[in-house]
Amino acid sequence: MKQFPVITILWNVAFLSLFFSLSPQRAQGLTIGSEEQDSGKEITIAVAANFKKPFEEIKVLFQKRFPHWKIISLYGSSGHLTNQIRNGAPVDLFLSADLDFPNSLYEEGFSDSPPEVYAEGILVLVSNKSLGGYRNIEEILTSTETKTIAMANPRTAPYGKVTLEFLKELRVWKSIEGKMVYGESVTQVNQFVITSAADIGFTSYSSVKANEVEWNDWKPLDRKMVPSIRQGKILLKSQGPITNEKKLVLQQIYQLIGSKGLDPILKKYGYEIPNRTLERKLKGTKRGKSI
């Protein structure tokens, strides 16, 4: 595992402390608003279920940074959130679990700019029992002791889509399809396993990091077969008049998500940091579709 110099981590922590301690006036050199939340000053952010825990921490920082703005967060599978946006849900910013869903919104005219990668997620296998007696993932999946396997719906949840691709590449899908139970998102997959409604399940590594005491055991997957999942953010067009003040706040929040200052939170929850140099090169070419 790659080691990060202590000085880099300390610098990031210092950056966060400095940035969020600044008043809005000092940070931008202009007045952003009063110190209390004003009626109507709301920003709505739709967040993929796998990113809920880290975003809850990030949201606290944002709320301190913009105390006069109310930040509303909506959680769910990326597919369902995308459909809500298409159907007119008043969402300002979308943090998806992949790039495909926000790309589709961009191509349909819901945003002026293509999505950008803010984090890279990892798919893992979790269990409510010990997996120590098995030699490999295939043996776990096909064992007669494994009665039910949970995965997110591949039509609406990017982690489910990646799970399906992995199982087909592993050439076990046809033999285990009858064991599968489907959750709307990784959050529901987690509940299936924790409550023993499923013996094992495919979820995000961030779920393991956020709820380590809940799992009896978990296994990483072959990274050659299951690359990191590039998760995209996209700033959406306003459905009505928008003030310059809100535009400014939205731009600041958008830029901060995926910035170096928030790297410690991403690492805490098991996300990989995007190669920002590579992502800048990819931006504007093919809009960086997810792996």
pLDDT at residue number 214: 75
- With 50 as the cut, is the pLDDT of residue 30 above it? no
pLDDT at residue number 252: 97
Tokens of 162: 């990646």
Residue 29 CA to residue 246 CA, distance in Å, equals 16
Residue 31 CA to residue 43 CA, distance in Å, equals 18
- CB contact at 8 A, 229 and 122: yes
DSSP state of 272: B
- With 80 as the cut, is the pLDDT of residue 4 above it? no
Residue 27 CA to residue 65 CA, distance in Å, equals 10
As to burial, measured by CB atoms within 10 angstroms (0-12 exposed, 13-18 middle, 19+ buried), residue 123 is: buried
Q: Where in the chain is the domain with CATH 3.40.190.10?
A: 6-120+230-282, 123-220
Average pLDDT rounded to a whole number, residues 14-34 = 39
DSSP per-residue letters across 56-111: HHHHHHHHHHSTTSEEEEEEE-HHHHHHHHHTT---SEEE-SSSHHHHHHHHTTS-
pLDDT, tens digit (0-9, with 9 covering 90-100), for 52-70: 999 999 999 999 999 999 9
pLDDT, tens digit (0-9, with 9 covering 90-100), for 101-131: 999 999 999 999 999 999 999 999 999 999 9
Class of domain 123-220: alpha beta
pLDDT at residue number 158: 97
pLDDT band at 8 (very low <50, low <70, confident <90, very high): very low
- With 70 as the cut, is the pLDDT of residue 200 above it? yes
Residue 213 CA to residue 16 CA, distance in Å, equals 29
Helix, strand, coil % in the chain, rounded to nearest 5: 45, 20, 40
pLDDT at residue number 215: 80
pLDDT at residue number 15: 43
Residue 186 assigned ligand-binding role: yes
- CB contact at 8 A, 16 and 256: no
Long-range contacts, stretch 61-64, CB < 8 angstroms, 24+ apart: 61/16, 61/20, 62/253, 62/256, 64/20
pLDDT, tens digit (0-9, with 9 covering 90-100), for 218-237: 999 999 999 999 999 999 99
The percentage of residues in the chain with a pLDDT greater than 70, rounded to a whole number, is: 80
pLDDT band at 275 (very low <50, low <70, confident <90, very high): confident
pLDDT at residue number 39: 53
Question: Within a 13 Å sphere around the CA of 199, how many CA atoms are in the beta-carbon half?
Answer: 14
pLDDT at residue number 112: 96
- With 90 as the cut, is the pLDDT of residue 251 above it? yes
**What is the reported pTM?**
0.82
Instruction: Read off φ and ψ for residue 201, nearest 5 degrees.
Output: -160, 155
pLDDT at residue number 167: 98
pLDDT band at 261 (very low <50, low <70, confident <90, very high): very high
Specify the CATH architecture of the domain 6-120+230-282.
3-Layer(aba) Sandwich (3.40)
